[in-house]
Structure 1
């Protein structure tokens, strides 16, 4: 048995982890743009990365290490993705780390921002030399890694086991645009003092990503830099496999939901719940098709309960389905019922009322099996176009 308790505060409360964010001049107006995570003992580390074929230089640099490497330092910059920068992009990372005076062991770099530009190496080196590795300021770090994010994204938990022992886990993340299943466009850094074995780390990340980061969509695009990094300094000397998997799921779900809610210009976060599909794969396909559909997203923005777009998207996904078994609901308001037309004036008003909420479910019962999956998405409106039209400027 175990108890999971949310903690008010950030992951810098975990013993042995230090962090901060500063301005290195990458962004205008002295905005925070460069951050670090440091551990005073070596950490076990695991990561999952984007499925994009053009992985950015920081991801390639990470994968050059031995698979069982440990680290004590992560450097994160915003404004520049260091993607599509060739071998020079990797060499620039080595140049940065070799220029720092800290005692770094297998340092990791993570970047986010505009694709196709080389890093401003001198600015990053000069900025990183200002770091105080005794600092505990996860709030500044969360600000420094933001790009188009409207707000920072953090979460923190403590797990108490039946014998009274405990461990902590927390995360900081960024992500608002280019969010799509197959790992969302985002960076997420998870720190824990759990004494988790190396072999359990990747398993827990992969298992939980399926229903969290791989189940969200803002705009259907997947970036070159997507990273989920898990660091464990093992200082608690406490571990329970089931407890860790569950609390990691909560951490990753928290971060994923904050990203969807912050979808560039988004006002609504929506769960697309597909029930009674013929297979688990069908449930995933249908739910993700709904979360990705531009027609569905714009209907959400207009608060239009256009169930025809929902049904059409399910049919276009080519999963096993039958219009005479399909039931579509907005929360508990049924708008389509097994081939029966129930969408009268009263039902439309009730459904439209649901769509005025910030958060709600669209439930699609396919009625052809026993499998289910929930994907998460948001509306898409004018602000998204404005943000992305001006992104490089």
Structure 2
């Protein structure tokens, strides 16, 4: 068995890594360039966007991976905000190599990797990054500095840390930082996320457990239904502490879900966090289709924003998503307030009042029992105003 306990602060809880951030001039105020490094190369695993136009840093990472036969170690991660380095072609990848060539002149680099977030279609201002990187305090352990450096339209930093105690008396730690507020859809979510641990996790387990955790967290959230070119989740270990696979699996899933829900709470134009729980589906896959359809639907988002308890948009979205469903068996609730079943098709005054009270809360659950089987899936979304949905066309990453 094991116990997972929250810790104060973020990445500072993980021995073996250094990290920090500073202003390089991309932002008028605040940090916009950060790093994670170690004295010795560390194992790393990553999951990237499903967008076919993946940004140059992702292409750069994949080339290193291919060159090293599908597994490699690095000692340096460089991260910038305000510029996505996406849709920049071979020149964008070459810019990364040039930046690292200059940085290697003042600190040793082994398979360095980069992440970027910001505006799509512009090449990096290499000179600014190189000049600023020379001012990094490479011995810093400042989670605040790097957590703020990766923020774009975020209104708050996102970081969590946990200590995991095993029955043997041994412990390990895990911590993560994340950015994301807009262009968030269940295909990672628009985000950069860096997870550090001191657990001595085998590389073969890293990819497996990271994939599981992402599927149960970042792939379940939606803000505005768009998928970025730069989505990245990285897991790195200093391998200085003990390891238990089941304990690590649980801690990693908790960490990623906590970060994912913070993304939704901080969504651009969002005021409410809503869990869409679909159960009683023919199978899990059909439940997943319905839950994701609900979390992505602009009609549902605007109804939630308007605190409109009418269940029509919920039922309509389920009926349109291509799964098996039956109006005679469907049951819809907002938390514990029944809004629809075959015996209560119209909202009476009391049930409408109770449903409206639920929708006024900052966080609540919309549950949909399809009454057809054992399939179940939950997705997470938020409200958005009609004006936001209508005019939000500036594609950020």
The TM-score with structure 2 as length reference comes to 0.96
Query: In structure 2, what is the equivalent of residue 2 of structure 1?
Result: 2
Aligned to 2:59: 60
Alignment partners' CA distance in 2, 1:386 and 1:91: 37
CA shift digits 1:118-155 (9 cap, x unpaired)? 00100011111110111111111111100110111000
Q: How far apart are 1:342 and its partner, in Å?
A: 4.8
Aligned to 1:278: 282
- Consecutive unaligned residues in structure 2, runs of 5 or more: none
Cα shift readout 1:31-79 (whole Å, capped 9, x = no counterpart): 2100111122221100000000000000000011122110111100000
CA 1:140–1:268: 2 relative to 1, 3 Å: same
Alignment RMSD: 1.4
Map Cα deviations across residues 202-229 of structure 1 (whole Å, 9 max, x no partner). 1001112112111110011000000000
Residue 47 of structure 2 is aligned to residue 75 of structure 1: no
1:92-103 to structure 2, matched below 5 A, reads 92-100=95-103, 101-103=106-108
Aligned-partner SS, 2:12: helix
Q: What residue number does 2:192 align with? A: 187
Change (3 A) 1:358 1:383: farther
Given that residues 173 and 189 in structure 1 are in contact (C-alpha distance below 8 angstroms), is that contact kept between their aligned partners in structure 2? yes
Residues 316-368 of structure 1, C-alpha deviation per residue, up to 9 Å, x if partnerless? 00211100000000000000013532510111111011011110000000000
Contact in 1 for aligned 2:15/2:198 (Cα 8 Å)? yes
Alignment match, 2:293 = 289
Give 1:391 deviation, angstroms.
7.5
Confirm whether residue 379 of structure 1 aligns to residue 378 of structure 2: no
Mapping of residues 91-170 of structure 1, within 5 Å: 91-100=94-103, 101-170=106-175
Counterpart position of 2:244:
240
Note if contact 2:337-2:351 (Cα within 8 Å) is conserved in structure 1: yes
Whole-angstrom CA distance in 2 between matches of 1:339 and 1:240: 50
Question: Which stretch of the first structure deviates more once superposed, 62-71 or 163-172?
Answer: 62-71
Query: Is the CA contact 1:149–1:174 (under 8 Å) kept in the aligned structure 2?
Result: yes
Q: Which residue of 2 aligns with 1:26?
A: 26
Q: Which residue of structure 2 aligns with residue 351 of structure 1? A: 355
From 323, 334, 344, the equivalent of 1:340 is: 344
Q: For residues 63-99 of structure 1, what are the alpha-carbon distances to aligned partners after superposition, in whole Å with 9 as ceiling and x for unaligned? A: 1112211011110000000000000000000000000
SS at match of 1:193: strand
Partner of 2:35: 36
- Alpha-carbon contact 1:264-1:387 (below 8 Å) kept: no
Native 8 Å contact 1:191 1:232 kept in 2: yes
- 1:366 maps to what in 2? 370
* Counterpart in the other structure of 1:217: 222
Tell me if structure 2 keeps the 8 A contact 1:323–1:339: no
Name the CA distance, whole Å, in 2 between partners of 1:103 and 1:280: 48
Q: TM-score, normalised by structure 1?
A: 0.97
**CA distance in 2: counterparts of 1:103 and 1:251, whole angstroms:** 31
> Separation in 1 of the partners of 2:34 and 2:9?
18
How many angstroms does 1:387 deviate by?
A: 9.0
Q: Which runs of 5+ in 1 are unaligned?
A: none
The separation in 1 between residues aligned to 2:45 and 2:31, in whole angstroms, is 27
Distance in 2 between residues matched to 1:108 and 1:390, nearest whole Å:
27
Counterpart position of 2:333: 329
Cα distance in 2 for partners of 1:133, 1:388 equals: 39
Aligned length: 390
SS of 2:163's equivalent in the other structure is: strand
Structure 1 runs of 4+ aligned residues shifted over 3 Å read 382-392
Q: Distance in 2 between matches of 1:79 and 1:86?
A: 18
Q: Does residue 298 in structure 1 map to residue 276 in structure 2?
A: no
Note if 1:206 corresponds to 2:205.
no
Cα distance in 1 between the residues matched to 2:208 and 2:178: 21
